[in-house]
Every structure is written in C-alpha cells, then in structure tokens.
Amino acid sequence: MILAIAWKNIWRNRLRSLIVIAATAIGVAAGTYSASLMFGVATQKINAAISNEVSHIQLHHPRFRENYEIQYTLPEAEKMIRDISRLPEVKSVAARTIITGMMMSAASATGIKINGIDPVVERKTTSLYTKISDTSGAYFGDGLRNPVVISQKLAEKLNVHLKSKLVLRFQSADGSLIEGAFKICGIYRTSNGMFDQLNVFVRQSDLAALLGNAPVHEIVVLLHDNSDIKKVMPVLKQKYPAAEVKDWQELFPELGMLTAMLTTMNYMILGIILAALAFGIVNTMLMIVLERSRELGMLMAVGMNKHKVFRMIMLESILLSLCGGIAGIVISFFLIQLSARTGIDLSAFGQGFEAMGYDPVMYPELRPGFFVGTVIMVIFTGILSSLYPARKALAINPALAVKNE
Amino acid sequence: MEIIQIKDLHKTYDEGKIEVHAVNGISLTVAEGEFTAIVGPSGSGKTTLLNMIGGLDRPSGGEVIINGTEITKLSSRELINFRLNNIGFVFQSYNLIPVLTAHENVEFIMQLQNKPQTERHKRTIELLESVGLGDKMDVRPRYLSGGQQQRVAVARALASKPRFILADEPTANLDSKATANLLEIMERLNHEEKMTFLFSTHDQRVVNKAHRVITIEDGIVISDVEQQHIVHPSDC
C-alpha cells in the first residue's frame, strides 16, 4: 500500500521528477561507463601480460629473480618440462635462458634482458610473434644466422632497423665477458612500453653456442584456463620444493591488485557522483514535503503512524533514485555494447598509455557485479537523501497542517 | 451512554508576553447518537476544542475522556492508534489524497488498520454507495465536485468504524445544494446507524439541523441547547 502510494506520488509533478531522474541517470551512466572502461583496460593489461610476457605460472631457482644471475639455473629442467606437460590443465610449457646484458649498435648501447627461447615452443606459449607486423620482419623464420627479435622502441633508441647487426654482451657464469653478433630478424611492438624497452629474444641454441651450454633459468607454464591456477599451483609446489613456483599475480602483484584497486576506485568515483546527486534529491524531497504538508498532516490526523509516514517519504526518495539509477545502467549497458566491438581509440594519447603499459585502444567491459553494486549504492543514496526531508515531515503538526485556510 | 466527556478543559497559547486562553475551562459531555453543532464567532475556540477532542492537540489543563479512555494521558504513538480506531475526521478542505481514487481514499484507512482485503473492498463499496457515489469509485478527487469530494471524506471517516465523527466546518466550501446533500447523508447516518456527529460550523442551515447546539465565545460555553428539528424555508 505505502509502496503504491509512494510510486503514484513521485509522478504528481512529472517534470520535476523527470529532471531528477535524468540527472541521476546521466550521473550513473557516466560512472558505470567509465568504470567499465577502466575494467576493460585492466583486463586488456592482464591478458596482454599473460599472453605476451608471463604466462600463468613460472618456475625459477629460488634466488634467480633477486638479480637475474646466470648461475641460478633450474636443474633437471628437461624432466620438469616433460612432467609438467603431462598435467591435463597445462596447454604448453616453454624453457627460457635469461641473461641480463648490453646491446650495442654502431650508434648506441643499452642495458637489456636477453631471452633465449625455442621459437617453436614459445609460439605455443606466448603470443609475442603476433606483435611483429608484416613490414617488421619475422619471428625467427627467415634463415638468418644468429637472429634477434627486438622491440621498435629499442630499434629507435639504437638507431637500427631490420637486418641491422647488433652485438650482445653479457657475463658468463665464471665471470668472463661474452660477446655475440646478432642480426635483427623481427621488430615487435606490444602495448607495454616498459616491457619493450627491456626485452630482446634470441634462439636458446645460439646462446648455448656462446655459453657452451643452454642453462634453463625460467620455465613458463601456459594453462588452458586462468582458473586452473588454483589447481596446478599446489601440485607444482609440492612436486618441486626446491624451485620457486609463482603465478602471474605473485610475479606481478601490481597486476593482481589492479582489478581490486580499480573496483575500489570506481565505487569511490560513483559514490562521489551519487553524493552530488543526493543534494538534488534532498532538495526535491524537501519541496515535496513542503508542498504536501497539509496532506501529510491529514494522514497523521486520521491515524497514519510516524513510522509509515517516514517509510512513505523514504520510499519516494528511493524510487526516484532507483528510476534514475536503472535508466543510467540501461544507458551505460547500450554504450558498452556499442563501443565494446570497435573500442575507443585513444591513439592520439597512445604514447603515454603505452609508456604505462596500457593499450591505447580501450574496450569497455561489462561487469554485472558492478551494476549490482551500483543499484545498491543508488538505493543507499535514496535512503540517505530521504532522512532529512522525512524528519521534516514528521515534525509537521497535524492540527496546524489541516487547519482551514 | 456518554462517548465524550470533557472536564475543565484549558488551552493556553503563549504569544510572547501575552497568554491567549483559546479554551478556558470547558466541561461538557456528548452521548452516543448525538448530532451536535458547536457554534461561535471566529477565534472563539471551536477548532481548538475539536482538535483536543480529536487528540490532535494537547490541552494545557483538564481531561478529555473518549469512550472511557483519558486520551490526554496517551503517548503520541498510542494517540495516533486511538484516533485511527475511534475517531472519524471530516475537514473543511476535504483533504483527500489526490493520487488515489475515491475507492482507494476510503479503503486506505482500513489498510492502515490492517483489515483483510475482502472486507476492505466490500465496506468501501457499501460506504461509497451510501453517500451516493457508487458510480464514482474509480474517479480521482480532482474530477469530483466539492460536494462529491466531501462525501468521499465522510465515507473515509466512516471506514474505520469510529465511535464518532468530528467535522470542522464541513460545509464551508460547499454550495447550498451540496450542503443539503451532505447534511441529508449525515442525518441519515445519525438516524439509521446511530453515528455520533460533533461538528463546528458557521452555517445556519447546518445549525438548524443539529439536535444540540453548543455556543462558545472566548473559550467558554455560553449556551448549550437541545433543539427540536425545525424546518426552515431555506432548507427546502
């Protein structure tokens, strides 16, 4: 009964209610759409990191990641790879030799991380090969001797291009300096500028020729599904107690926390928007109480208790906010559908994004959970906005309110 | 049987340095089935007296006993509940809820009493038919004339099955035809259902229909007369 009356009451002054609803709808649409953009960016970032860089799980010598020192290798790596490959959740496993060193061209030199890989296996594990455009060479495929794949950023920094010669210099396990001449066979470009500035890829066999052996510093495990991590991690940890077994969230904690951080941030932004809208709702509800003081007085006179009067005002405020909130979510939903396929291209500011490791083309992501959270926040806003007007309503003296004019 | 007992009732308003004695020691009783008018000039204390009898205003002194309950001693919550179940109100300006139909306006009171839906529906129809608005059930107040709205208000006042009806200037906004119509309904309810009416009025036509006329001036009762029903030419 009270709900039905409250619903009818909000349409007494159609224009005024529609203005409040429109304001709420725009605010909620803006808040939820920007949130979906941020969620989309985060997902892109995480997916790109898993796909191009870390995969799902990595195994190292426990001390290797401290300073990337060449002597901290994984013993019996071949057997480990064979065993891990047999797990049903595992899609592929790749072994890497990782050495920090210098890369020099005729023009310049820079510090880099050399990734010695098996291109055939690596193709199955990471998708870096897709980051080489048609005009930027190939992923170790054209028969060059000592081929190297470097990023476009490094190519620009060292002023080199396809088929240019480069010298890689690094320290062997016994401390002696080793140099090797390599030829650029491919130039890649990911959305993560920081990754691009650091990583070059060579064949593990070429490094073995320089070092005299092919030490394995890193085993990279790609799973069929991200959710399998919880299942596979304990198995690997139990099986290889001497190794450091980490999933991508542990390897890049900032990535793991990105979603949680963005969720909190998005709720805060939405909270600020709703707080601003709440003032408008309070104002409207105060006008409603003022205009209807005679009627509210009559209701109290004939026996409507204060609890029910309070509930009626609160419901009107909640319904008003909820109409706006739902309209905003619907608008946001269609905006997300509209832009989810094409993405929003911010290439004009792309360099800044890439420098921070983000893709300049953003794809908004629909998160039903956030929409549910938004509806709860909107209801909460309605309740809060009604408190002061409802108190005003309860202060009405029925005897004065129904007094004949 | 006495439904309303008022003993030495006082109401004083503090208007700065001046104390206004709106009701100054009124004592009276109203028996079940009475059709009583309270008359007096503006500012004489009629509305204040009705408000205190209806539990809308607290007296400064004295007692208001309704059907054996001393209502001045009730808490605000108890008083609201008491009003809902014992007193029917008819206001000068009808005070219907504009977003509800005539049917919903009447039914609403019974919803506050948590009466079952079937009982509410049946009684609402009976009441609206008894005030001659059986064909206006689904009409909202703004599409009804003043007289029709006041008849809905009477039906609403009766909906809770009150012990008596308090009406403050019920015909003040009505034309003569609507006034006659409303009075006829009120009289019929009084005769047939023994409903007690206590109303304030300035309208001589209403005064003429009353069985008892209490005249108030400066917050005190200056006359309290039983009168035979006199048919005046203006009633015809």
Interface predicted TM-score (ipTM) of this complex, two decimals: 0.88
Inform me whether the C-beta atom of residue A5 falls under 8 Å from chain B C-beta atoms. yes
Inform me whether the C-beta atom of residue B79 falls under 8 Å from chain A C-beta atoms. no
Q: Which of B67, B69, B45, B68 is nearest to B57 (CA)?
A: B45
pLDDT of the residue at B232: 45
Are both A121 and A30 inside the same structural domain?
no
Average pLDDT of chain B to the nearest whole number: 90
pLDDT of the residue at A253: 84
Looking at residue B157, its amino acid is A
pLDDT of the residue at A403: 74
pLDDT per position as a tens digit, A236-274:
999 999 999 999 988 888 887 888 888 899 999 999 999
Tally of domains within chain B: 1
If pLDDT is split at 50, 70 and 90, which confidence band does A131 have? Answer: confident
Select from B91, B108, B121, B199 the residue whose CB has the most chain A CBs within 10 Å, as the one to mutate to test that interface: B91
Tally of domains within chain A: 2
Cα of A402 to nearest chain B Cα, Å: 7
Is B10 inside any structural domain? yes
Domain containing A188 equals 62-242
Is B115 inside any structural domain? no
Is A92 inside any structural domain? yes
State the CB neighbour count (10 A cutoff) for residue B15: 8
Q: Please say whether the dihedral angle defined by the alpha carbons of residues B185, B190, B194 and B198, taken in this order, is positive or negative.
A: positive
pLDDT per position as a tens digit, A169-226:
999 888 889 999 999 999 998 878 888 999 999 999 999 999 888 899 999 999 999 8
A327: which 2 tokens?
A: 């309209």
Are both A44 and A78 inside the same structural domain?
no
Q: Please tell me whether residue B197 adopts helix, strand or coil conformation.
A: strand
pLDDT of the residue at B25: 92
If pLDDT is split at 50, 70 and 90, which confidence band does B229 have? Answer: low
Q: Is the pLDDT of residue A404 over 60?
A: no
Cα of B81 to nearest chain A Cα, Å: 6
User: Would you say A294 and B95 are in contact if contact means Cβ atoms under 8 Å apart?
Assistant: yes
- Average pLDDT rounded to a whole number, residues A368-372: 92
Q: What is the DSSP string of A102-149?
A: EEE-SS-EEEEEEEEE-HHHHHHH--GGGGEEEEEE-SS-S--SSEEE
- Average pLDDT rounded to a whole number, residues B127-150: 93
Q: Which residues of B209-228 are buried (b: 16+ CB within 10 A; e: fewer)?
A: bbbbbbbbeebebeeeeeee
Are both A143 and A207 inside the same structural domain?
yes
Is B107 inside any structural domain? no
Is B45 inside any structural domain? yes
Pairing of strands A177-188, A147-151: parallel
Is B110 inside any structural domain? no
Is A247 inside any structural domain? no
pLDDT of the residue at B236: 38
Is A249 inside any structural domain? no
Taking an 8 Å cut-off on Cβ atoms, the answer to whether B56 and A295 are in contact is no
Are both A199 and A78 inside the same structural domain?
yes
Select from B13, B112, B124 the residue whose CB has the most chain A CBs within 10 Å, as the one to mutate to test that interface: B112
The CATH number of residue B16's host domain is 3.40.50.300
Is B147 inside any structural domain? no
Taking an 8 Å cut-off on Cβ atoms, the answer to whether A298 and B91 are in contact is yes
Are both A181 and A158 inside the same structural domain?
yes
Q: Is the pLDDT of residue A354 over 70?
A: no
Q: Which of A346, A121, A330, A102 is nearest to A221 (CA)?
A: A121
State the CB neighbour count (10 A cutoff) for residue A119: 20
- Average pLDDT rounded to a whole number, residues A81-87: 94
If pLDDT is split at 50, 70 and 90, which confidence band does A351 have? Answer: low
Are both A94 and A218 inside the same structural domain?
yes
State which H helix or E strand residue B205 sits in.
helix B204-209
Residue B43: left if φ>0, alpha if ψ -120 to 50, beta else—which one? left
Is B205 inside any structural domain? yes
pLDDT of the residue at A51: 84
pLDDT per position as a tens digit, B30-66:
999 999 999 999 889 999 999 999 999 999 999 999 9
Q: Which residue of A303, A398, A403 is in closest CB contact with B84?
A: A303
- Average pLDDT rounded to a whole number, residues A134-152: 85
Q: Which residue of A294, A302, A305 is in closest CB contact with B89?
A: A302
Residue that the structure tokens 């002061």 belong to: A388
Q: Which of B54, B150, B85, B154 is nearest to B46 (CA)?
A: B54
State the CB neighbour count (10 A cutoff) for residue A240: 17
Is A171 inside any structural domain? yes
**Residues of chain A contacting residue B51, judged by C-beta atoms under 8 Å apart:** 399
Is B74 inside any structural domain? yes
Domain containing B176 equals 2-95+161-235
Q: In angstroms, rounded to a whole number, what is the distance separating the alpha carbons of residues A124 and A116?
A: 15
Is A54 inside any structural domain? no
Q: In angstroms, rounded to a whole number, what is the distance separating the alpha carbons of residues B193 and B90?
A: 18
If pLDDT is split at 50, 70 and 90, which confidence band does A310 have? Answer: very high
Count Cα neighbours of B163 within 13 Å in the Cβ-side half-sphere.
19
Q: Is the pLDDT of residue A353 over 80?
A: no
Q: In sequence order, which ranges of A213-303 are alpha helices (DSSP H)?
A: 229-239, 248-251, 253-291, 293-302
Looking at residue B194, its amino acid is K
If pLDDT is split at 50, 70 and 90, which confidence band does A26 have? Answer: very high
Q: In angstroms, rounded to a whole number, what is the distance separating the alpha carbons of residues A91 and A225?
A: 9
Count Cα neighbours of A156 within 13 Å in the Cβ-side half-sphere.
8
pLDDT of the residue at A402: 81
Interface of A with B in 282-301 (CB under 8 A): 294-295, 298-301
- Average pLDDT rounded to a whole number, residues A384-399: 93
Are both A18 and A162 inside the same structural domain?
no
Query: Exposure of A351 by Cβ count < 10 A (0-12 exposed, 13-18 middle, 19+ buried)?
Result: exposed
If pLDDT is split at 50, 70 and 90, which confidence band does A36 have? Answer: very high
Residue that the structure tokens 């906005």 belong to: A385
Interface of A with B in 6-65 (CB under 8 A): 8-9, 11-12
State the CB neighbour count (10 A cutoff) for residue B40: 22
pLDDT of the residue at B233: 42
Q: Is the pLDDT of residue A328 over 90?
A: yes
pLDDT of the residue at A137: 86
Q: Is the pLDDT of residue B217 over 90?
A: yes
User: Would you say B46 and B200 are in contact if contact means Cβ atoms under 8 Å apart?
Assistant: yes
